Amino acid sequence: MSLILNYMVDEHNEGSTLGKFLTQQQLSKKAVIALKHRGGKFYVNGEVRTTRWQLDNKDLVTVIFPDEIASDTLKLIKMNLNIVYEDEFLLVVDKKEGMPVIPTGSHEQALANGILAYYKEIGLKSTVHFVNRLDKGTSGLLIVAKYRHIHHLMTADFAHIKRRYYALVAGMLDGAGVVEAPIFRPEMTSIKRIVHEKGQHAVTHYEVVKRLPTSTLVKCTLETGRTHQIRVHMAHLSHPILKDSIYGDGLEEEQQLLHSYFLEFTHPITHKKLCFESGIPDRFEIKR
């Protein structure tokens, strides 16, 4: 099962070479060259053609992408994945808390390994391309592109992907607000980030959903996507996320109460807007 994309030539592209036409379809020159060297095929009206072929109006261009080989760091580990959406181009998965996205030496039960095993079940010869990522302790929705080119289309303009989170934070927070504070990694040997003027631009919008006796449930919307952004920004407000072992007082074995509950994006092929929601997890222990 390979990625196959079809494009119809219109009068504006009549006389263009196949190579130039493909770059106008968001296939870079580098990608076109890579396709040729990795076994990809270009067809015009069902006939194999080179990138120098001159196109006519209403020609049908077909691109067959080569199979992708998974990294040696990934293993096939069968898991009960919560796939909330799937088509021939991508998946939307609701990830459990405590599961890393990418495997490490101490964590083989990673989402990437489970997805690779699922690919084998459905006969997909590809590797795993995460469009957005979640920390190990964060649960919720994330997008997985089935092919490198789909990942490129999805991330070329990341602004079209809307992401919202539920966070249960310490203390009593009021109303709504915006945290605009740069995030910096002071030590390369540590994953911890801080707010610092040397950091990358980062903006988080928050809104109180429910006030509890000693904590507050908030909705957070990301305007940027820095590592640990919500965790760092909430701690910066002196309202760290509960059970956060890095930015709060959580234990090392606990998972921060942060959940990716909302995703909205434009499909890279159909150009339709897709929207997905996931409810507040039971682990938040909030009465509905």
249 catalytic, yes or no? no
| Token pair belonging to 134 | 């979640």
How far is 259 from 247, CA to CA, in rounded Å?
16
Alpha-helix runs per DSSP H in 123-265: 148-155, 229-236
Residues in the chain: 288
Three-class DSSP category at 215: strand
Does residue 209 sit within a domain? yes
55, 20: one domain: yes
152-168 pLDDT per residue, tens: 999 988 888 999 999 99
- Domain co-membership, 149 together with 167: no
Q: Which of 56, 67, 72, 135 is catalytic?
A: 135
**Domain contains 269:** no
The answer to whether residues 179 and 135 belong to one domain is: no
Residue 263 pLDDT level (bands cut at 50, 70, 90): very high
Cα 101 → chain centroid: 11
| CATH code of residue 110 | 3.30.2350.10
Half-sphere exposure of 66 (CA within 13 A, CB side): 13
Residue 199 domain flag: yes
Supply the range of the domain harboring residue 126: 83-156
- The enclosing domain of 36 has a CATH number of 3.10.290.10
Domain for residue 276, yes or no?
Answer: no
End position of a domain, from candidates 156, 187, 219? 156
pLDDT score, position 144: 98
One domain, residues 190 and 229: yes
Q: What is the pLDDT of residues 217-253, one digit of tens each?
A: 999 999 998 999 999 999 999 999 999 999 999 988 8
**Based on the structure, what is the number of domains in the chain?**
3
Question: Residue 278: is its pLDDT beyond 70?
Answer: yes
Say what the alpha-carbon torsion angle 40, 44, 49, 55 is, to the nearest 10 degrees: -130
In a domain, 213, yes or no: yes
Rounded CA separation 200/177 (Å): 20
How far is CA 42 from each of CA 20, 28, 95, 124, 152, rounded to the nearest angstrom?
13, 15, 37, 21, 19
Q: Where are the beta strands (DSSP E) in the chain?
A: 4-8, 41-44, 47-48, 60-64, 83-86, 90-95, 129-130, 139-145, 162-170, 176-180, 183-184, 194-195, 203-211, 215-222, 258-266, 273-277
Q: What percent of the chain has pLDDT over 70?
A: 99
Inside any domain, residue 231 = yes
pLDDT in tens, 4-35: 999 999 999 999 999 999 999 888 888 888 88
Phi, psi for residue 128 in degrees, rounded to 5: -95, 125
Tokens 């495997």 correspond to 103
Q: For residues 198 and 212, state if they share a domain.
A: yes
Residue 106 has pLDDT above 90, yes or no: no
Q: Tell me whether residue 237 is in a domain.
A: yes
- Same domain for 207 and 118, yes or no, is no
